C-alpha cells in the first residue's frame, strides 16, 4: 500500500462510535471498520449496536456495548469496558442528538432540558471521558457531530441550533486543552441527511423537496457521505487539523438566500 492511501487508513486503531445503531453513527462505524479500525459500536439501543457490529465483523473487528450519554455513570462504565478489553482508545465519534421542533415561545422547560442534556451535556460527558482514556494511550482523534444549524436557523430549530453551536465551541475548547496530550478534536457539520432524526421531514414531500432544493447539489445526503469525512478526521491524513469545523452540507451554507437573480 502506498503512503497516499495509507494516511487515510486507521489500521490498528480502536474507535468508539456513539450512536452506532443508526444514521450517521452507523455509517461512520462501518466506514471506520472498512478502513482498518477495531470498532466499538455503542448505542442506547444495544440490539441496534450489535447489528452494526455484526456487519463490520463480517470483514473486520467490532464489538457492541450499551451507552447513554445522558448518564455520566453509563459513559464511565463504557470507557472501563473499552479499557479492560482493548487497553486503549484512539478514535471517538459522537453522533447522538435530538430535536424538539417547536417555536421558542412554546418551548417548555422539560423540552429545553431534554435537548440540552443530550446534545450539549451528553457530548461534553463522552468527550471528557474519551479524552481521559486517550491520554493514557498517547493521543487520538475526537469527532463531534454538529450541524449547519450551528450557523443558520429556521423556525422550530432555535434550541437545537443553540446546542449545535455549543458543540462547535466544545470542540474548539477541548482542542486547545487536549493538544498537549496529542489529542485532536474537530466537529463535523452535516447538511440535510436521510437519517431517523429527519424522518418527519421525509414524510412531508413538500418539506423534503424544499430542503433538497436549498443546497447547491439539489439533493439530500446519504449517511455514508458523512462517514468518509469522519474517517478523514480520524486518520493521520488530518494530522494538522484540530479545533475546526468541517461542513459537509452540499453547499447549503454557501448559498445566500433562495432567490435566483436574473443574470
* All domains in the chain, ordered by first residue: 3-246 (3.40.50.720)
Residue where the block lists cell 423537496: 209
- Measured CA angle at 62 (ends 56, 64), to 5 deg: 110
Rounded to the nearest 5°, which phi and psi values hold at 233?
Answer: -65, -25
DSSP state of 236: G
Q: At a CB cut-off of 8 Å and minimum separation 6, what does 173 contact? A: none
- Compute the distance between CA of residue 91 and CA of residue 123 in angstroms, rounded to an integer: 15
Question: What is the block-wise mean pLDDT of the chain (263 residues), using blocks of 10 residues?
Answer: 75 98 97 98 98 95 98 98 97 96 96 98 98 96 98 95 98 98 98 86 90 94 97 98 98 84 72
Catalytic annotation, residues: 160
pLDDT value at residue 3? 52
pLDDT value at residue 215? 94
pLDDT value at residue 1? 45
Q: Of the candidates 73, 77, 29, 69, which has an alpha carbon nearest to the alpha carbon of residue 49?
A: 29
pTM for the full predicted model: 0.94
DSSP state of 183: E
pLDDT value at residue 4? 52
pLDDT value at residue 199? 81
Residue where the block lists cell 456495548: 65
Amino acid at each position: 500500500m502506498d503512503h497516499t492511501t495509507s494516511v487515510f487508513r486507521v489500521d490498528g486503531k480502536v474507535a468508539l462510535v456513539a450512536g452506532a445503531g443508526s444514521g450517521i453513527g452507523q455509517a461512520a462505524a462501518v466506514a471506520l471498520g472498512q478502513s482498518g479500525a477495531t470498532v466499538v459500536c455503542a448505542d442506547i439501543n444495544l440490539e441496534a449496536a450489535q447489528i452494526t457490529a455484526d456487519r463490520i465483523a463480517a470483514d473486520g473487528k467490532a464489538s457492541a456495548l450499551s451507552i447513554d450519554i445522558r448518564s455520566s455513570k453509563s459513559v464511565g462504565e463504557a470507557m472501563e469496558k473499552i479499557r479492560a478489553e482493548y487497553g486503549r482508545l484512539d478514535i471517538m465519534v459522537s453522533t447522538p442528538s435530538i430535536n424538539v421542533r417547536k417555536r421558542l415561545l412554546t418551548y417548555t422547560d422539560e423540552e429545553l432540558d431534554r435537548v440540552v442534556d443530550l446534545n450539549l451535556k451528553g457530548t461534553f460527558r463522552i468527550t471528557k471521558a474519551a479524552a481521559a482514556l486517550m491520554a493514557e494511550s498517547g493521543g487520538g482523534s475526537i469527532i463531534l457531530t454538529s450541524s449547519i444549524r450551528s450557523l443558520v436557523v429556521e423556525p422550530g430549530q432555535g434550541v437545537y441550533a443553540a446546542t449545535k453551536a455549543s458543540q462547535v465551541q466544545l470542540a474548539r475548547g477541548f482542542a486547545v486543552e487536549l493538544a498537549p496530550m496529542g489529542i485532536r478534536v474537530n466537529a463535523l457539520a452535516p447538511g440535510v441527511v436521510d437519517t431517523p432524526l429527519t424522518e418527519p421531514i421525509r414524510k412531508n414531500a413538500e418539506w423534503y423537496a424544499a430542503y433538497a432544493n436549498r443546497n447547491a447539489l439539489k439533493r439530500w445526503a446519504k449517511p455514508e457521505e458523512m462517514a468518509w469525512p469522519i474517517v478523514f478526521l480520524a486518520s493521520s491524513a488530518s494530522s494538522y487539523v484540530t479545533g475546526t469545523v468541517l461542513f459537509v452540507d452540499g453547499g447549503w451554507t454557501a448559498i445566500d438566500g433562495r432567490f435566483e437573480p436574473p443574470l
